[in-house]
Structure 1
Amino acid sequence: MSEVSEEFALVLDDYHTIESKPIHDAVNFLLNHLPPQAHLVIASRTNPPMSLANLRAQNQLMELH
């Protein structure tokens, strides 16, 4: 992903259906290591089981309810 020069979004839809902790851990790692041109969009009916407080504090999180 870091070799892509244009901005892009990775969309994970229906995230609430994922119950696997290794997948949650991998997405959390990805979220914290995205290159600047990448945007992660998570569509879920519930809050994803990951820490988002740091992103909120840095104004790098957009939430729609």
Structure 2
Amino acid sequence: MTTAAPTDRALVWHTSSYSNGAGGECVECAITSTRAHVRDTKKVDGPVVTVAGSAWSVFLQVLKSE
């Protein structure tokens, strides 16, 4: 996992479906072929957490099983 902003290419960010635009605590994700990038919706120039795509898939499966 890294927290540096990715610089290899422009990322397409997707806001959480739970984000209502009222300043809630939400994140945005950008998915590439090998990585998942996550950032705070209110700090788009802030740090980005980057994890391997395989780790992201496992994380999502665990969330869905809860």
Same fold by TM-score greater than 0.5: no
- Normalized against structure 2, the TM-score is what? 0.26
Using the size of structure 1 for normalisation, the TM-score is 0.26
Q: Which has the higher helix share?
A: 1
Identify the structure with the greater strand proportion.
Answer: 2
